[in-house]
Amino acid sequence: MFKAIVAFIFLAGFLSGFSRPPGPEPAIRAVKIIWNLGGAGMANPDDTVLVPVNISDSIFLFYDKDKMVYKLPHTESVHYYDRPSSWKTRYSYLSHLKGADYGLFFDSLGANSGKRLNVDSLLKEKISYRIVLDDYSLVETVKLSDQGVMIEKYGSQITNHLAYPDTALLYYTTGLKDVDYSISDSLDHAKGQKLFKVRFVSNSQYYQDHPLKMPRREISLELKEFQVSSAMENEIRKFFGRTGID
């Protein structure tokens, strides 16, 4: 696990997208919290070449004024006797009011009743991380004024080490400030903009005491707004306002 991001804890079932999609104003706004954990592995046990291996998933956040709903994936392996195994994803839902500590958790779309849970505790079970830049130096800052985006590029002070990705890229936007989710509150406040994407990139290279060449790997976390379809809006409407608060 890279030291740059101390932990990526998830239950198997987080530069585009910072702007709002064109078209009429939707009744519900939504963002995806997308993460990707890049590593390396062998395609076959006898291989002498490592290939990239990526684990990725998304959490969906829907909001309408002060009402919010998280759609949380739960992915599990389904085993068959007579054919290859497959993956099946089901979803649970967390409904709460903006800024509230507690909400109602529904374990499926068909659930008629929910369980009162702490919002932060549940989200930390799904995805937990910490951004550490102590051993990185700022290399350059690029401002895309016409897009309201700023990109900071950092280089690792510790080279040729598996635990330290070579490059860190942080993307900020002047948009998404009304989204009640933050990748890093401290960085948002320090820059006066919303951090919407983080990438830690390791170049393809040999490492000391490691016999095989490692492929390029990337760890990333992104906050991306998307258009809500009519079918998805009907799905989420069922949970809006059901917070367990009378």
- The whole-angstrom separation of Cα 144 and Cα 166 is 24
- The whole-angstrom separation of Cα 163 and Cα 6 is 10
21 in a domain, yes or no?
no
189 in a domain, yes or no?
yes
- The whole-angstrom separation of Cα 196 and Cα 150 is 10
User: How long is the chain?
Assistant: 246
How many structural domains are present in the chain? 1
pLDDT of residue 16: 37
- The whole-angstrom separation of Cα 120 and Cα 13 is 18
Check pLDDT > 80 for residue 244: no
- Read off the pLDDT band of 126 (50, 70, 90): confident
Range of the domain at 197: 29-237
pLDDT of residue 10: 33
The distance from CA 123 to its chain's CA centroid, rounded to whole angstroms, is 11
Other beta carbons within 10 Å of 119: 19
pLDDT of residue 192: 93
166 in a domain, yes or no?
yes
* 205 or 2: which leads in pLDDT: 205
Mean pLDDT of the chain: 82
- The whole-angstrom separation of Cα 73 and Cα 40 is 24
The pTM for the full model equals: 0.79
15 in a domain, yes or no?
no
246 in a domain, yes or no?
no
Check pLDDT > 90 for residue 94: yes
User: Across the chain, which distance is largest between two alpha carbons, in Å?
Assistant: 62
pLDDT of residue 181: 84
Q: What is the pLDDT of residues 38-55, one digit of tens each?
A: 887 766 666 677 888 888
Q: What is the pLDDT of residues 2-61, one digit of tens each?
A: 444 333 333 333 333 344 445 554 468 899 999 888 887 766 666 677 888 888 888 999
60 in a domain, yes or no?
yes
243 in a domain, yes or no?
no
185 in a domain, yes or no?
yes
